Structure formats: structure tokens, C-alpha cells
Structure 1
Amino acid sequence: MQKELMEKFVEVYGEGGEIREYFAPGRVNLIGEHTDYNGGHVFPCALTLGTYGLARKRDDRKLRFYSVNFSKLGVIESSLDDLIPSDQAGWTNYPKGVMWAFEKRGIQLEHGVDFLIYGNIPNGSGLSSSASLEVLTGLMLKDMFGVEELSMQDLALIGQYSENNFNGMNCGIMDQFASAMGKKDCAIFLDTSTLEFEYAPVQLKDARIVITNSKVKHSLVGSAYNDRRNECETALEELQKELDIRTLGDLSEEEFEAHKSAITSDICRKRAKHAVYENQRTIKAVNALKADNVEEFGKLMNASHVSLRDDYEVSCEEIDILVDLAWQIPGVIGSRITGGGFGGCTVSIVKNDAVDHFIDTIGKQYKEKVGHEAEFYVVDIGDGAHVIA
């Protein structure tokens, strides 16, 4: 992989100079969905799938971008003097947004860059290809320009800031945090209200994590994702008239039930219920995993999907078919939608001796019901973003 990408970089941009290599992973969230912007807990892990980047500093202020995945687009040129979002910029809005966010922090970028990327995260799958690219860009800038004061956690925050304010996607911190801070064979139990976190070993013994891609591509910018956040904010404002809370994540299930009548909209009440209950489910799920109770973890995953389907309404027909099929297969410990929703992937914990049957059975039945094939990834948990030696 590294040799091929280096050869491609030289083919596209020519020889000379110091070419540096980077990697930032995608993520899958095991449980804790749509809690990260509601002050709750999440439990993601970094994948060994991700985005590779090769970069070389230039003597001028020109920016040149090339994606192996979108090779037909050729080299897309821009400049450090043109860090403005535009439809014409396409995927380069993500790295440009990070450069813009660096400069917003007072970090002046004096030299342009030749940048080549390749990602093996399926596009539109909900496994955070955009966050991976943002963290990759941040790491590249930190390394190439010697910005020692920035930590990996800072890079996650910069990535989130750029996606919120440059790309118009009002996401929480989870995706960028998982990509920047991931640790092999561990998930991250993160309190998004304080950014306190711990690494929890994911020891599934005789089971594996299987991601199923519905092949339904979702676009979250300008979509119902931002609506959900606004609905939760409305619910919070109404609850704050009765309660001294900063976020929905501050509430227990009992406190929510006692005060939910303060939320005047039925829709906003459902959204808030999911945020509160999902946060508590996540805390319970991590405790179950620590107690080596994988079966209980799976039950909480299933309950998470029901809540996302019915209360938060971010699932879709294809995803529900995948989850319903998974629940019927012996050896499936738990299965749920993962990611922002409106398509994308499911995540399942499947016993080793059932994985082949899981893939074969769901693959056939999904195609019969939907008309196109799903994709399956039996994944490993990897490290966060890093410079490739």
C-alpha cells in the first residue's frame, strides 16, 4: 500500500522534496448514538480502515489535492488565500476547512502543500470518512509545520470546529475524537460534556464485530441531522425552566420521566427521551462489558436501535431490514444502526462460529428484499491517527 501510494504521488506531482505519510482511522460506535452533542457518553472505537495521506510542502501558497478514490477529478488546485467553502471544491472542503480552522486559532500556514489521499472507508457508509480526513489533515499540518503545542485531542476539536463552521455540519465531537485518540483493541468511553475518557478493552472472547453496509448513502449536511440537534436544544431549553441542568446528559431516566411534561412538543419530547435513555444505556453497556457480560451489552445494543428507530427516527427501511434479519440469526449477540443515520451501516457482535452464516444469510435475504447487495466487514479495532514511519 505505502509503496503504491508513493509511486502514485510521484506520478501525479513529480519527484523531489520530502514526502511524508500519515494515517487516520474511521470509527464505529458500539453504543451511544446522538448523545455526543447532548452532553452524554459515547463508546466508539477506531478501525483499521481509514484514510492514508501523503504530503509535501511547497515553496508557494498553492494547494494541490488528489484523491485516488476520485481519480477522474484529477488534481484540484486551490490556495491558502482561498480557504472558502464551495460546491466546486467537493471533497477538498474538508482539508481546506481544517486549514481554515488552524488559521482561526492563530496558526499561520506560510507554505502550500501537495496532498494525495486514499481511503478504504466506504463513502457514505457512516464510518466517519469525513472525520478521518479532517484528523488526517490536522496531523499532517501539525507534523509538517512543527506545531508542537497542539495535542491529538486538539486536532479532534479542530476537526469538529471545521466541520461545524466551515462545512455546515453541526456534528458532535465523537467521530474526530475516536479517529485522533483511538487505541488498539480498546473502545473509548467518553463523557462528551467534559471530554474525560477512559480506554475500555473490548474482549469479546469468541465473538467478532461485524459491520454491514446497507449501501444506502446518506448526506447529513443540511439534512434531518441538524433538525434533530435543534429539536434536542428546544427540549433542553424547556427543561431548564424547571431543572438546573446544562445538558440532556445530566438527566437520569427517572428525572426525565418526572419532568418530561415541560417539553411542549411531542417530537421534541421523543428526541430528548432518546438522548437521556441512550446515555444511560451507554453507561450500563460499558459496565456490562467490564463485568464480562457481553450478552447484556448486546441487549442494550438492541434497545439502542429500537430507540433510534422509534424515538429519534434516524433509521430507514434498509437499515431496519438488516437489523431485523440479524436479530433472527442464532449467535448474534446484538445489532444496531451505527453512525449519524439515514442509511449507512449496522454494527453487530456475532459469535465466531456464526459469522459465515450471518454474512451468507443476511447477504441473500437483504438482496431479495431490497434489490441490491450489502457489504460486510469483519473488523479489528486499531490505533488512532499517526505518522507512518
Structure 2
Amino acid sequence: MNTTLTKKVQESFITTFSTKPLMIFSPGRINIIGEHTDYNDGFVFPAAVDKGIIAAIQKSDTNISTAFAIDMNESVSFELDKLKPSSEGSWENYVLGVVAEIQNRNRVVGNFNIAFSGDIPSGSGMSSSAALENSVVYGLNELFNLGLSKTEMILISQKAEHNYVGVNCGIMDQYASMFGIENNALLLDCRTVEAKPFEINFKEHELMLINTNVKHSLSDSAYNDRRSACENIASLLGIKALRDATEADLLTIKDQVTPENYQKALYVIQENNRALKASKAMTDGDLETLGALIYGSHEGLSKQYKVSCDELDFLVEQAKLNKHILGARMMGGGFGGCTINLISKDAVDAFKLTVSKAYKEKFNKDCSIYSVKLSNGTHVIK
């Protein structure tokens, strides 16, 4: 966690609101494998990271509440009994949505002030939105003694995203951000919303993220399209979600769906199996198998699910040329954001140089590279 950032947020809050706040850290997340499986009731393998949102929050003695986005230098004031979504794409919807969903659970929130900032790289697919939602619900739960469990809190965050932000997200991002455990990844069953922690020991390897620094505009509409394609195929099969299907089941309806949607459903079934195999590979300390599964995941995301883009594919191809990288894939919703790479520690510096240069030559723009550590989930900063 970033202590300089913590200090900045705290000072900014005190300057703006003239009181001492409660400080919350809510992490972003990576996902080792299991992409687009969460809304199919499947398995995912996320971990909270040491980058995230830091929020300062305190009760207000006025009759309005105020949220201040420090990085954008924008603030929004609102009345708790008149909440409604702002225009699409507004950051305040993450805050307003959480408050509205808490109220929907018949909990009483008083007026409050919140200021926040983050160090999750923008557009990186590390889920700054879930981190922000979780920081708001966690802070309000502490301030007003709402008695919400962590599970209730993440469901509130998810509903806020559905109803106020308009993205029909699964539960993975909120779960990983709230329940993260230092040095562990969580094999999360998105149907039962229960996870098994796996202590991560990558031995001589580490995780490196490469941000394409692009975000192609397809993302939200394509996400909702794919989600509905998966749901349609599940209903054709007479099952609750694709998590319950096998490749053999899918073959039985092949002539009833478009070839594109067949491939999308096939990808989800195969990716679910990869996530389960990855947990076994990690238990066995078999990093070669884990790496091969990660490459397989990218292949499926790019060719079958079609949520990759030239920049992501290029970075994965560059990784394949390097024998010190065991696996690489795009991470997150797609059409931009980051690749995640399992790379030998002593090869990091050299690869950074070669891949940055190659990317710049190919796309005439820079990629950004970061290493991440696995962190604890949302908590009060003491």
C-alpha cells in the first residue's frame, strides 16, 4: 500500500472538510486465469494487489453528503433521500449506487463526506471500480455501524455497478478486492461465492503486468452482448449457467446457434476447466503447466471469445518469443488493458527493454510495465 498516497488523501480530506477521517484501503485485483467465467457461475483465480483506492470518510454535520474525487479535482454533493444515477460514465455513480443499495437493504446511512484517490493504472483492467465501491461500503459500514458482513458488502458493490453504472458484472472483482489475502490467490466458485485460498509461491518467477495503454470503445457493449449469448445458450441447454455444461452437451445444440456463439460458449467451458487445472498445478508447484494454461486462456479469449485486440495479441506473441516467460495472457474484460506475464525474475529487466521497444515501433505508443505484490483485502488503515 502506498503511504505517500495515504498521506495525500488524508491531508486533502482535512483541508476540504476540516475534520479527521477514517482511512480505508481497498485493493485492485489481478486474475491469474478464469476470464469471463464469473458471470457463467464458473471458477476464477483472482488475487488482491498492493495498488488500489485509498478513501478518507467521515460523518457530516450538514444535511448533504459530498464525494470528492481528488485525482479529477471534482466533487459532487447529494441528498440521501433523492439519489438517482448521474449521466452515464460519471465516477459518482459508483458512490451513489453503493449508498442506494445500502438503503435498499433497509440500513440507515447518515450524511457523510468522502475523498478518494488511487494508484491503480487507469484502464488496466485491475478493477479500480470494484475497489472504489468496496471502499465506500466498507467505510459506511464502519462509520454507521450497519452490521453488514463482507459478503453482504460485495453484493451491494455489485448491485451498484449493475443498477447505477450499467455494467452487468459478475462478482469476482468485488470479491477479490474485499477478501484478498497477502501472498495468496483465491480460487473462487462464483456460484457459491466461496473461495479457497492458495498460497502463491512462484519460486524464481514473478508476475509482471504490461499495460497496452489502449481502451477500445467496444468494451461495455461487447461485454453485455457476450453475457447474453452465454445466457441464451445455457437456456437452450436447459441449465442455469454454462458452468454446468460439458463440451459434449454443447455439441447437441451446435446447429441451433451461430458458429460465433458456439465458439464463445466452448471457450467458457474450456476456460472453467483451465481454472480448475491451474489450481492443481499451483498445489503441485508445477509452473510449466500453469504457464501453458495461461497461454491457452489467451488463445481462447482472442480466437474464440474475441475480446482481445492487436495490442494485447502482440504483447502475448512477444512473450512467447522469450523462453524465460512461462505464460502470458490478456487480463480483464478485454479490448485493451493489461497482459499478465509469469516471468523469471532475472529476465525482467531485459524483457522490459525489448518489449517496450518492440511495442513502440509497432504501435507508435508506449506500454507501461509494473510488478505487483499480492495484498490483503479492503481494511481500515490504522
- CA apart distance, 1:25: 0.3
Correspondence for 1:181 among 173, 179, 182: 179
- CA apart distance, 1:189: 0.2
Q: Counterparts of 2:291 and 2:151 in 1: how far apart (Å)?
A: 30
Q: Counterparts of 1:287 and 1:263 in 2: how far apart (Å)?
A: 35
Residue equivalent to 2:213: 215
Residue equivalent to 1:225: 223
Residue equivalent to 2:55: 53
Residue equivalent to 1:376: 369
Correspondence for 1:250 among 244, 252, 259: 244
Q: Counterparts of 1:183 and 1:289 in 2: how far apart (Å)?
A: 16
Seen in structure 2, the aligned counterparts of structure 1 residues 58 and 87 have a Cα distance that, compared at 3 Å, is same
SS in 1 for 2:40: coil
Q: Which runs of 5+ in 2 are unaligned?
A: none
Seen in structure 2, the aligned counterparts of structure 1 residues 312 and 332 have a Cα distance that, compared at 3 Å, is same
Q: Supply the AA of the counterpart residue of 2:138.
A: L
Q: Counterparts of 1:129 and 1:34 in 2: how far apart (Å)?
A: 18
Does residue 10 of the first structure (1) align with residue 14 of the second (2)?
Answer: yes
Whether contact under 8 Å (2:236, 2:253) holds in the other structure is: no
Residue equivalent to 1:85: 85
- CA apart distance, 1:265: 1.9
Whether contact under 8 Å (1:153, 1:181) holds in the other structure is: no
- CA apart distance, 1:252: 3.1
Q: Counterparts of 2:63 and 2:48 in 1: how far apart (Å)?
A: 33
- CA apart distance, 1:103: 0.6
Q: How does 1:150-299 map to 2 (within 5 A)?
A: 150-217=148-215, 222-240=220-238, 245-257=239-251, 259-261=252-254, 263-299=256-292
- CA apart distance, 1:254: 4.1
- CA apart distance, 1:219: 5.7
Seen in structure 2, the aligned counterparts of structure 1 residues 164 and 219 have a Cα distance that, compared at 3 Å, is farther
Q: Supply the AA of the counterpart residue of 1:231.
A: A
Q: Counterparts of 1:108 and 1:326 in 2: how far apart (Å)?
A: 51
Does residue 350 of the first structure (1) align with residue 343 of the second (2)?
Answer: yes
Residue equivalent to 1:362: 355
Seen in structure 2, the aligned counterparts of structure 1 residues 262 and 61 have a Cα distance that, compared at 3 Å, is farther
Whether contact under 8 Å (1:210, 1:377) holds in the other structure is: yes
Q: Which runs of 5+ in 1 are unaligned?
A: none
Q: Counterparts of 2:70 and 2:62 in 1: how far apart (Å)?
A: 24
Greater shift, 201-210 or 247-256, is seen at: 247-256
Q: TM-score, normalised by structure 1?
A: 0.94
Q: Over aligned residues, Cα RMSD in angstroms?
A: 1.5
Q: Supply the AA of the counterpart residue of 1:202.
A: I
Q: Counterparts of 1:315 and 1:220 in 2: how far apart (Å)?
A: 11
Q: TM-score, normalised by structure 2?
A: 0.95
- CA apart distance, 1:221: 7.1
- CA apart distance, 1:87: 1.6
Q: Counterparts of 1:88 and 1:307 in 2: how far apart (Å)?
A: 31
Q: How does 1:136-151 map to 2 (within 5 A)?
A: 136-148=135-147, 150-151=148-149
SS in 2 for 1:115: strand
Seen in structure 2, the aligned counterparts of structure 1 residues 163 and 12 have a Cα distance that, compared at 3 Å, is same
Q: Counterparts of 1:203 and 1:385 in 2: how far apart (Å)?
A: 23
Q: Supply the AA of the counterpart residue of 1:91.
A: W
- CA apart distance, 1:324: 0.9
